[in-house]
Amino acid sequence: MAKRKAETLNDDEISGYLVEVSPIKTSQQNNKYFDGTINSNRKTFQHFVCFDVSKHCQFRSAGTQKSPVKLQRISQVPSKKDASQNDVLVKRTSSLNVLRSLDFSCKEQPKETSEQCTLEKIQNLPEKSKVIKLAMHDYSRFF
């Protein structure tokens, strides 16, 4: 499988609040990483991923304390979860700086709502779209 090349889009820094920081995980390629969500303005939430686990404690602390932060020397890469979005790639050379304030306050990310839909609607979703729960019913006993 070919590696995806990280393309830097826009600026190489982002400011906001870390609203979610995961525990350290292990990828399918056996690499350790953590990820989460940054609230980068009043209504924008962006997924980030970091393969430098030495930064995990600093990220967790900033997230728990709801401190405003600036991530510098990052890359914006196409999201693996949603093709219409970009993820923030935090690199070994990236830095996290705690700021005094931002011009907006920390918002919690809206929870995903569940809705019932047809199989046809699911089949028409873009590739790699997130489907949280799929419930199937066995109606064979009625036939």
Place of tokens 């705690």: 98
**Best CATH choice for the domain 13-98 from the list 2.40.50.140, 3.40.50.10090, 3.30.360.10, 2.60.450.10:** 2.40.50.140
**Rg of the chain, C-alpha, whole Å:** 18
pLDDT tops 70 at residue 26:
yes
CA distance 88 to 11: 11
pLDDT tops 70 at residue 141:
no
**Whose CA is closest to 128, among 82, 77, 89, 59?**
82
- Name the average pLDDT for the chain: 80
CA distances from 4 to 21, 24, 77, 78 (A): 23, 22, 9, 9
- Summarize pLDDT for 64-93 with one digit per residue, the tens: 999 999 999 999 998 887 778 889 999 999
Q: What value does the mean pLDDT take over residues 105-133?
A: 67
- Summarize pLDDT for 92-117 with one digit per residue, the tens: 999 999 999 898 888 776 665 555 66
pLDDT tops 70 at residue 55:
yes
